[in-house]
Structures are given as C-alpha cells and as structure tokens.
Amino acid sequence: MILIESALVVVAVVGIVFAISIWQNSSSDPDGGCQQTLVVGKSVEGISIEACQLNGSNPEAENTLLVVGTIHGDEPDGKRVVDELLTEAVPANTEIWVLRDANPDGAALVTRRNAHEVDINRNFPIKWKPSDPLARTYSGPSPASEPETLALMNAVETIKPTRIVVFHQPYAQIDCPPERSTEISDRLSQLTGFKSECIPGEKSGSPTNTYTGTFTIWVNSTFPETTAVTFELGLATMDAKIQTIAKALRVVAAETAYLP
C-alpha cells in the first residue's frame, strides 16, 4: 500500500513538473515574432523575400543588426538560428532584423544557386566578374542581374543596419571582413566557440583573394558605417549550439563598443 501511495506521489509530481514546463514554454512565445515585416523583393519564381524586425526592437538603438539566414539554397542551418531568434523579444535598447531566406527558389530545389542557376553571392555589383555559366559559382549575365540580389540590396538600403551577420556552411568558422576590423568576428567567436579566422584568400590585399561580387564585399565597400560578417556554420549543428549562436547575436546587437 505504501508502495502504491509513493508511486502515485511520483506520478503526481512528474505530472506537475511536466505541466509547469509546458506552461513555461508557451508563456515565452507571445514575446517572439515580428513587430514589423517588410517585403524587400521577390525570387525568380515570384516568392516574397521578407525582412522582419524582431519584437521589442527599438529603432532608436545605437546599432541595428541584420541577420541573413541563408543565401545559398543548400545551406539551410542559418534559418534555424533565425527561427531561434524569433522565439524571444530582443533585449532592451536593441534593434534586430532577420531576413530568413534570401534564396527561396534555391532552398526549394536544395541547390546553391537561384532558379536562373546564378550564384547570388557572386552577383553583387562590386568586384563582379563574368564566369562560366556552368560553374556552381556562376556570377550571372551582369552585375545585380538577379531579383534576389536586388532584394538583399533593398533590405540593406532600407533597414540601414550597422552590423550584418550572414550565414553560410560548411566551414565552421567566422570569417574576417577584409575591409573591416575583426572585432565583431572575434566577439562572436568568444561567445560561440567558433574560430574567428579568415577564409583563405579573404584577407585584405591577399593576392590569392578570389572572391568577387559577394554580399559582404558589396556591403563593406558601399556603407562605411556598416560591417558585414560571414558566419560559416559546420555541416551539421546541434540545437544547443544554434541556441548559443542566437544568444550571441542578441549580445552583439546590444553591445556598442566595436569599431565599424
């Protein structure tokens, strides 16, 4: 009899703990989501490309962070970071925007390029170079020829972020922006455990720098007040790490001490 009673107590306690955890999960939801959504363009196939200002954002904040989840359709994990950011309001005196998917057609086909088979991240109009249409990094028929490129440009010109973090895969490192200091890369590295290291050839003035027409080259060459950093996730990332990265982005958005 005592055994049955103790078993019932255990069941009751487990039930209450379970109920509390459900209540806690659902109670954190109402603060998430967007306080403003901006359609910045359309993909080749006509899918809307949207940017969302996270709930709680203060447009008077000293910095505005824009997080781009993905540009390459076969590199989906940055969207998981964005989804994590969307679960909570931003910290006080912070402004964060997320552009979850800049290449929805590529994502639907699980392919790097867009529906015109152009690599968006070689199509930007700074340091653009023609390339082989069959290459996986085909830069398109002309600079900024693609609607997805124009959508990202529109997002930056409209939102005017001071910091941009754009996700790629699979190198598992935070790249140095060749045109800027490495302060934001180094801080993100400290907070996430990903190494802050220039992708080979990316270093300023390097004779082996072969990157042309990328999003970050365009941002960092066009907007002196904005620093765009490439965050390369690995091939696979655990949920706990995704949460750590989202948390790090909230910290970096709130801190004001970095140089441009």
**Contacts to Zn ion by CB under 5 A:** 72, 75, 168
Tally the C-alpha atoms within 13 A of residue 205's C-alpha that lie toward its C-beta: 1
C-beta of 141: minimal distance to Zn ion in Å? Answer: 21
Report the alpha-carbon distance of residue 197 to residue 252 in Å, rounded. Answer: 18
Report the alpha-carbon distance of residue 257 to residue 236 in Å, rounded. Answer: 32
C-beta of 168: minimal distance to Zn ion in Å? Answer: 3
C-beta of 71: minimal distance to Zn ion in Å? Answer: 6
C-beta of 28: minimal distance to Zn ion in Å? Answer: 31
Residue 155 or residue 254: which is nearer to Zn ion going by CB? 155
C-beta of 75: minimal distance to Zn ion in Å? Answer: 5
Closest CA to 111 of 77, 72, 141: 72
User: The tokens of 38 are what?
Assistant: 């901006």
Report which residue's Cβ sits closest to Zn ion: 168
C-beta of 232: minimal distance to Zn ion in Å? Answer: 8
Residue 80 or residue 168: which is nearer to Zn ion going by CB? 168
Closest CA to 87 of 25, 166, 155: 25
3-state secondary structure 189-244: HHHHCCEECCCCCCCCCCCCCCCCCCHHHHHHHHCCCCEEEEEECCCCCCHHHHHH
114-to-90, 193, 198, 202 alpha-carbon distances in Å? 32, 32, 26, 24
Residue 95 or residue 197: which is nearer to Zn ion going by CB? 197
Residue 113 or residue 168: which is nearer to Zn ion going by CB? 168
DSSP 180: S
Residue 122 or residue 168: which is nearer to Zn ion going by CB? 168
